Amino acid sequence: DLAEAEAISRFTYIAQMAEVPVNIVHLSSEAGLMAAKSARQRGADIYIESCPQYFILDDSCYYLPGFEGAKFVCSPPVRSKHSQTALWNALSAGSIDTISTDHCSFNWKGQKELGRNDFSQIPNGLPGIEHRPVLLYTYGVAAGRISENQFVASLSENTARLFGMFPQKGQIAVGSDADIVVWNPSCQGTLTAQNQVQNVDYTPYEGLKIQGGAKAVFLRGELAAENGKVLFENQGKYIHRHSCDYYHKNS
């Protein structure tokens, strides 16, 4: 935790001296959060991204029997339940801007298990890009920690603004791309490796009960996925990005 706080403090001091905005990625700890908040208070223009694993998992996973803990090896590592609470409070307060995944689709068989006799050989990272929205909805919105608007902002709008794609992306409006998710807030299920779509043989969220899910996904107005089934692929389009929309600039 302290190593993260030191790195954030050093990073933000350098950014402030250079008079440039910076994005802190994969924030994982309360100590790191406090360092980021301190930087903002002294006038540094910083943005904060975190990932579902730091809100959902805790460091008890590293003490699972056998070699199970290898499934959760990532950088930064997952932290204590105390840090979890601090991150949820920060997301609710608007201190954390975006939620991504740091998705790394290493398989358990043939990849993660390579480190059985040498910790340094464990491929570093967790799979999770498929489960990001439903985890944030279940443990955020449905649990009363964040609002639906905060859910959408942290997954879509803020990212589009931060990376210079707004208003083409990040909102539903005339002239914007019709990228729309039709969300069913009441459906329920259980996350398992067997029922996931992402191409990896395990999930660190195995057995978690979830609520809500995407009923349909439209890409530029075309139905791209429905009820968990991808209808077409390889339809990406180059987006010419402009300068960042610094939506909470401190200076």
Taking the CA atoms of the chain, what radius of gyration do you get in angstroms?
A: 19
Model pLDDT, residue 243: 82
Q: How far apart are the C-alpha atoms of 34 and 135, rounded to whole Å?
A: 25
Query: Do 118 and 106 contact (CB within 8 A), yes or no?
Result: no
Phi, psi of 51 (to 5 degrees): -135, 155
Query: Do 184 and 212 contact (CB within 8 A), yes or no?
Result: yes
pLDDT one-digit tens code per residue, 91-119: 999 999 999 999 999 999 999 999 999 99
Query: Do 172 and 178 contact (CB within 8 A), yes or no?
Result: yes
Phi, psi of 133 (to 5 degrees): -65, -45
pLDDT over threshold 60, residue 248: no
Q: How far apart are the C-alpha atoms of 2 and 32, rounded to whole Å?
A: 7
- The partner residues of 184 in beta bridges, in order of sequence, read 213
Lowest-confidence pick of 102-106, 223-227, 231-235? 231-235
For 212, residues 6+ apart whose C-beta sits below 8 A from its C-beta are: 133, 134, 137, 138, 141, 142, 183, 184, 185, 186, 187
Query: Do 130 and 198 contact (CB within 8 A), yes or no?
Result: yes
Residue 76: closest CA among 20, 121, 30 = 30
pLDDT one-digit tens code per residue, 117-147: 999 999 999 999 999 999 999 999 999 999 9
How many DSSP H helices and E strands does the chain contain? 7, 7
pLDDT one-digit tens code per residue, 68-88: 999 999 999 999 999 999 999
Model pLDDT, residue 188: 97
For 86, residues 6+ apart whose C-beta sits below 8 A from its C-beta are: 29, 30, 33
Q: Which domains does the chain have, with CATH numbers?
A: 2-230 (3.20.20.140)
pTM: 0.93
